[in-house]
Each structure stands twice: as structure tokens, then as C-alpha cells.
Chain A
């Protein structure tokens, strides 16, 4: 399960 954090945002 891939982590659903918001760190892939800018």
C-alpha cells in the first residue's frame, strides 16, 4: 500500500 501523505506536493 502506497503511503498517502502529501509530501508529493509542492
Chain B
């Protein structure tokens, strides 16, 4: 495992820690899209089916279980916790996320490396992850007040994917990995979706101003 990959995983983990911190200590999920969180549960459930079929390492298995457990936990808090659920920005979380699921299903059925259940579901999870942040980005744009933890959460989530791209470049150049169209293009699309957010996040950080996205 190279440094970029490790940093990417740690950023991903840290983003979840930041979100859980907001939910468990501030008891709020204001500005967090339940739709994006539900899409992540679907992403992890479909991608990590190989937990039952293939063993890579203790690290790999542990991380998969953490991502599955925390994503389900977050959705549970947002839907059912009696204090947290009242802070959910339901009226602003309006993105039609079913459309993203449908699009990813169609794309995975059309474009995949092999036509078997695990492979198609794995491909589906990559396509869905690429666009899963969209409801969250739309919600942020509608929020007049983006708190620091929410901004940091989205930034860390974007940084994770950017670091994964560096990891792929490293593996390609140093570890003889082949060019893989499906994960690479999905990953590039996913990272590109954050470009606008990164720009405003870094700008607000440099000017020590509160983060605000133009409508």
C-alpha cells in the first residue's frame, strides 16, 4: 500500500469521524443530506459483497466493516434519533436521488468488465459513488449557514477521492498496474464534482471567512 492510498483512506475515515462528531456531540445533522448518506449505504453494501468471497488483509476487512457500520449508523441517527432527526434539513434536501440509482444501474448493466453478479454490482457501486455527493452539494448550495463541521466533512470526502487518483497514478507508474477505465473515469468524475466546492472552501479558509456557496 502506498502513501497516497493510506492518506486517502485516512481522509475518508476522518470525514466520517467529523460527521459522527457533529451528530453525536452537537446532536445535529443540519446541512447533511440524508439522500447522499443513503446512497453511501447502497454503495458500500454492493461493493463489499466480496467480504464473503475474498480475503485481502485484516486492514481491508476492518475498514470495510467500519465503512458499512458507520454509514448505516449515520442513516439511523438521521432517520430515527429523536433529537437528531429534528435537525434534518428535509425541505432543502430535494435532489431526486432515485434517478442517480437508476442511472447507475443502467450504466453498470451496459458497461462492465465481466457479466456476473459481483462484478456488475461492484461496477454499479463505483458509478453510484461517483455521483452520490450531488444531493449533498445541492443541499449546501441551498443552506444559508454552512457550519464548520459540515464544510470540513465535505472537504475531507473530496480530498479522499483526489488522493485515490494520486494512488492510481502511483500504482500505474511504480507497480505495473494496467489502466483501468471504469474505476479511473468514475473516480475522475467524482473528484471533478468537488472542484467548485474546493474553490470556495479554500477561498473561505484563506480569507478566514465563513464558507458560503453562491446560489
Contact = CB atoms under 8 A, between A and B. Distances in A.
Interface of A: 4-10
Contacts of A5: 180
Contact of B12 (A4, A7, A8, A10): A10
Contact of A10 (B67, B122, B168, B176): B67
Per CB-CB distance, the 4 closest pairs between chain A and chain B, nearest first, are: A8-B56, A4-B177, A6-B183, A10-B63
A9 B164 contact: yes
Contacts of B175: 4
Interface in B45-95: 50, 54, 56-57, 60, 63-64, 67
Nearest to B67: A10
Contact of B176 (A4, A6, A8): A4
Contacts, number: 25
9 contacts: A4-B175, A4-B178, A6-B168, A6-B177, A6-B180, A7-B50, A7-B54, A9-B5, A10-B63
A5 B119 CA distance: 12
A5 B176 CA distance: 11
* Residue among A4, A8, A9 with most chain B CB within 10 A: A9
* Residue among A6, A7, A9, A10 with most chain B CB within 10 A: A10
A4 to B, nearest CB: 5
B9 interface: yes
Contacts of B176: 4
A5 to B, nearest CB: 8
* Residue among A4, A6, A7, A8 with most chain B CB within 10 A: A6
A4 B177 CA distance: 6
B119 to A, nearest CB: 9
Contacts of B60: 8, 10
Nearest to A10: B63
